[in-house]
């Protein structure tokens, strides 16, 4: 009997230990494209601001060249959360049949009153004074069918210009756009940061129009997306994660901490502090909602513009592909 009591006691102790043992933190594999946008390695440079890191979750940032490869990784299970544009959301639903994709939070928006709107740049030494003057010229885009590409095409269409008939589009990464414009290989480029803040470039160029001019208001440029199964399985850890991400975003933009945040970004991106300080984490930057809420109307408008331009034969109702409950719970935790 004594041995039996000892055995039972041992079993109970083991069960109690298992019940109180802390589970391993969730590894969140986060796709990213631009170091200063999204859940990138820069986040890990500010771990002292992340209250739940290492307890309920850890972050594994994975770099992609663009939204197409990151979406392929999400579809195959190689990544858990990615930033995507409205064009990628539409493609995922219509072409990839990813009916379980869900928009979970805001990344950033263009054209919000009081904040930046991306400029489309021309040289000072050319004869392009208005949009109509682009007829017969070459324009550069970072990704055909992407958010800024759609905005550019809508602006040119408003002024009677159509692709292939009236102008030529070439793709380029942002790094090469400035040299292409200055060397007269193209006549219009997207004024992406930080390149557009280069003093030498600004001295030789000027904006012809902005994204806000093109769309007439806000553009929901990027949102964060994940698959519904991942969200349902890991809800508690993800609420902790988004609580930390929202808190960190606010810390970056707090004037009291912004110099430290800029220094961190300069160290990670290897960009000059002065260039980043000209726009990053300020009203000269894009808008990111402090509660992580995307502009659903702007997201739907972007998709509808794609259909109008012939990039898709059918639209979708974006409200079917939302799960904002996690970021809403996270926002409630913050003051």
Last residue of a domain, one of 158, 187, 215: 215
Q: Is residue 6 part of a domain?
A: no
Q: Domain with 191 in it: what CATH number?
A: 3.40.190.10
| Residues 267-294 pLDDT 10s | 999 989 999 999 999 999 999 999 999 9
The average pLDDT across 299-327 equals 94
**Cβ pair 191, 120 in contact under 8 A:** yes
| Predicted pLDDT at 3 | 52
Q: Are residues 77 and 125 in the same domain?
A: no
Last residue of a domain, one of 193, 215, 237: 215
Q: Is residue 1 part of a domain?
A: no
- Say whether 109 sits in a helix, a strand or coil: strand
Q: Are residues 129 and 226 in the same domain?
A: no
Q: Are residues 227 and 313 in the same domain?
A: yes
> What is the total count of domains within the chain?
2
Q: Is residue 15 part of a domain?
A: no
CA 21 to chain centre: 37
Last residue of a domain, one of 181, 215, 249: 215
The average pLDDT across 261-265 equals 96
| Residues 30-48 pLDDT 10s | 999 888 888 999 999 999 9
Q: Is residue 2 part of a domain?
A: no
Q: Are residues 84 and 126 in the same domain?
A: no
DSSP 114-160: TS---EEEEETTSS--SGGGGTT-EEEESSTTSHHHHHHHHHHHHTT
Buried b (16+ CB within 10 A) or exposed e, 99-113: eebbbbbbbbbbbbe
The average pLDDT across 147-159 equals 93
Paired tokens of 11:
């079993």
Q: Which residue has the higher pLDDT, 88 or 324?
A: 324
Q: Are residues 105 and 176 in the same domain?
A: no
Q: Is residue 297 part of a domain?
A: yes
Q: Are residues 131 and 94 in the same domain?
A: no
The per-residue pLDDT of the chain, averaged, comes to 91
| Predicted pLDDT at 2 | 52
Q: How far apart are CA 297 and CA 302, in angstroms?
A: 9
Q: Are residues 196 and 125 in the same domain?
A: yes
Paired tokens of 72:
């392929």
Cα separation values, 97 from 12, 75, 90, 94, Å? 49, 10, 10, 6
Q: Give the domain extent around 157.
A: 119-215
Q: Is the pLDDT of residue 15 over 50?
A: no
| Predicted pLDDT at 19 | 44
Return the percentage of the chain with pLDDT > 90, whole number: 78
**Cβ pair 70, 79 in contact under 8 A:** yes
Q: Are residues 162 and 260 in the same domain?
A: no
The average pLDDT across 292-321 equals 94
The average pLDDT across 77-96 equals 93
CA 41 to chain centre: 14
């Amino acid at each position: 009997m004594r041995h039996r009591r000892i055995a039972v006691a041992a079993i109970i102790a083991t069960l109690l230990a298992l019940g109180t043992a802390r589970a391993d933190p969730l590894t969140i594999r986060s796709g990213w494209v631009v170091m200063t946008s999204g859940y990138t390695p820069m986040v890990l440079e500010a771990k002292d601001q992340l209250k739940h890191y290492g307890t309920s979750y850890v972050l594994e940032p994975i770099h992609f060249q663009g939204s197409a490869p990151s979406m392929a990784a999400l579809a195959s299970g190689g990544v858990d959360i990615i930033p995507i544009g409205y064009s990628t959301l539409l493609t995922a639903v219509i072409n990839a049949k990813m009916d379980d994709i869900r928009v979970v939070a805001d990344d950033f928006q263009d054209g919000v009153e009081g904040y930046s709107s991306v400029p489309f740049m021309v040289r000072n030494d050319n004869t392009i004074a208005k949009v109509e003057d682009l007829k017969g010229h070459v324009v550069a885009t970072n990704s055909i069918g992407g958010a800024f590409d759609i905005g550019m095409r809508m602006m040119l269409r408003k002024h009677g210009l159509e692709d292939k008939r009236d102008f030529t589009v070439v793709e380029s990464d942002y790094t090469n756009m400035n040299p292409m414009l200055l060397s007269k290989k193209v006549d219009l480029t997207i004024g992406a940061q930080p390149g557009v803040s280069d003093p030498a470039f600004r001295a030789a160029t000027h904006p012809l129009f902005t994204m806000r001019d093109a769309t007439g208001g806000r553009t929901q440029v990027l949102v964060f997306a994940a698959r519904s199964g991942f969200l349902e399985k890991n809800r508690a850890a993800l609420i902790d994660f988004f609580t930390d991400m929202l808190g960190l975003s606010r810390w970056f933009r707090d004037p009291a901490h912004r110099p430290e945040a800029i220094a961190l970004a300069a160290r990670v991106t290897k960009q000059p502090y002065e260039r980043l300080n000209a726009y990053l984490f300020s009203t000269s930057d894009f808008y990111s909602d402090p509660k992580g809420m995307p502009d659903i109307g702007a997201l739907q408008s972007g998709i509808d513009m794609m259909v109008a331009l012939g990039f898709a034969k059918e639209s979708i109702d974006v409200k079917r592909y939302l799960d904002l409950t996690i970021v809403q719970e996270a926002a409630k935790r913050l003051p």
